[in-house]
Amino acid sequence: MAGQLIDLILTRLGTPGRPRSNDRFIAGDPLTPVTGIATVAMATFDALKAAAAAKANLILTADATFWGDNDAVTGLEGNETFKAKRDFIRANNLVIYRIADHLADSAPNPIRAGMARELGWQETAQGGEAARFRLPPTNLLQLSQLLQTRLGARTLRVIGDPTLPVSNVAAIWGRAAQMPAIRTLRSDIDVLLVGYTFEWEAVLYAQDQIAIGMKKGLILLGQVPSLQGGMKYFSEWLAGQVTEVPVRHIPLVETWWNLDRPVNEIKTTI
């Protein structure tokens, strides 16, 4: 049953849970028999279709399913997109569990470990937590090009001088909240990598740092590219913990397109 497997997974992660958390069953019945498990960075409709096609009906997602931080569905009852997604979940006996906070509290943190591996930075991690890296000397443009290639991030955005010398890099995978991002930018790093951040918070702060003469860079990777390597890593760990059913990771195609390649490519394939 989905509920029993989730209990097992959370026990194996060894994270007690937070007093306030968005981690919970988002959709589906916890009593549903599980035919397979899929991990995703975000439970998009396209990801759910790919999971159903793969006979994986328990979906573990790092991010939202119903377009809001807490997945609240109040007010969506008459929404045609909500109805289509809900009906698909029901028709395919899918169960969706949001697991981001438990992963963030795990040691080691699967998102950090997986993203470091995705970038080939395991040996450059500082302090063992894979959130800070000391890289061979490069510059901001070259680092951005490396990230684009290794993460398949077509539309990453960069603040700072392209020729800025770069060695010390920090990462906040996923959303970078205001004060954690500002504290990190105030430290001795050259560049901060984030999934996304509000433009009036860390983006504006980095711009103002540069305006007063500080040598800083900020790179916005996009939410999915900044989490996906971690969810892949988590799926591999999970396959060693849950042997009753198949476990797989479903990679998502980046939604955004740029003017050099105007292709609306969102179909996820396994």
- Mean pLDDT over 41-48 rounds to 94
Mean pLDDT taken over the chain? 91
Tell me, yes or no, whether 149 and 214 share the same domain. Answer: yes
160 has a pLDDT exceeding 90: yes
Range of the domain at 176: 110-225
Domain assignment present for 266: no
Q: How confident is the model at residue 129 (pLDDT cuts 50, 70, 90)?
A: low
- pLDDT computed for residue 19 by the predictor: 83
Tell me, yes or no, whether 24 and 60 share the same domain. Answer: yes
Of 177, 242, 216, whose CA–CA distance to 2 is shortest? 242
Residue with tokens 């026990």: 11
Predicted confidence (pLDDT) per residue in 253-264, tens digit: 888 877 887 777
DSSP 124-186: GBSTTSSSEEEEEEEEHHHHHHHHHHHHT-TT-EEES-TT-EEEEEEEEEEE--HHHHHHHHH
Tell me, yes or no, whether 34 and 62 share the same domain. Answer: yes
- Looking up residue 90, the CATH number of its domain turns out to be 3.40.1390.30
Q: Which residues of 23-40 are buried (b: 16+ CB within 10 A; e: fewer)?
A: beebbbeeeeebebbbbb
Tell me, yes or no, whether 163 and 98 share the same domain. Answer: no
Domain count, the chain: 2
5 has a pLDDT exceeding 80: yes
- pLDDT computed for residue 267 by the predictor: 62
- Count the residues in the chain: 270
Predicted confidence (pLDDT) per residue in 82-103, tens digit: 999 999 999 999 999 999 999 9
- Mean pLDDT over 152-165 rounds to 93
Strand 132-139 and strand 95-98: the pairing is unpaired
- pLDDT computed for residue 171 by the predictor: 95
- pLDDT computed for residue 114 by the predictor: 94
Domain assignment present for 267: no
Tell me, yes or no, whether 116 and 221 share the same domain. Answer: yes
